[in-house]
Structure 1
Amino acid sequence: MKIDWAALGSVFGVSLVATVALVGLFVMGIIGLSKQAPADGQGGSSVALARTGAYACFAACLAAVSYGIYLIVT
Structure 2
Amino acid sequence: MKIDWVALGSVFGVSLVATIALVGLFTLGIIGLGRQESSGGSAALARTGAYACFALCAAAVAFGIYLVVV
TM-score bracket, normalised by the shorter chain, equals over 0.9
Q: Aligned residue for 1:33?
A: 33
How much does 1:37 deviate? 4.0
Amino acid paired to 1:27 = T
Query: 2:62 and 2:2 mapped to 1: Cα distance?
Result: 33
Instruction: Find runs of 4+ consecutive structure 1 residues off by over 3 angstroms.
Output: none
Structure 1 residue 47 displacement after superposition: 1.2
**Alpha-carbon separation, structure 1, partners of 2:53 and 2:27:** 9
* Number of the residue aligned with 1:11: 11
Corresponding position of 2:55: 59
Q: What's the secondary structure of 2:2's corresponding residue? A: coil
What is the root-mean-square deviation in Å for CA atoms of aligned residues? 1.0
Unaligned runs of 5+ in 1: none
Using the size of structure 1 for normalisation, the TM-score is 0.89
| Percentage of matched positions with identical amino acids | 77
- The gaps in structure 2 that reach 5 residues or longer are none
Q: Give, in angstroms, the shift of residue 67 of structure 1.
A: 0.3
Whose relative contact order is higher, 1 or 2, with alpha carbons under 8 Å and at least 6 apart?
Answer: 1
Query: What's the secondary structure of 2:16's corresponding residue?
Result: helix
Q: TM-score, normalised by structure 2?
A: 0.94
Tell me the alpha carbon deviations over residues 29-48 of structure 1, each in whole angstroms, 9 at most, x when there is no partner: 0000011145xxxx32x111
Bigger helix fraction:
2
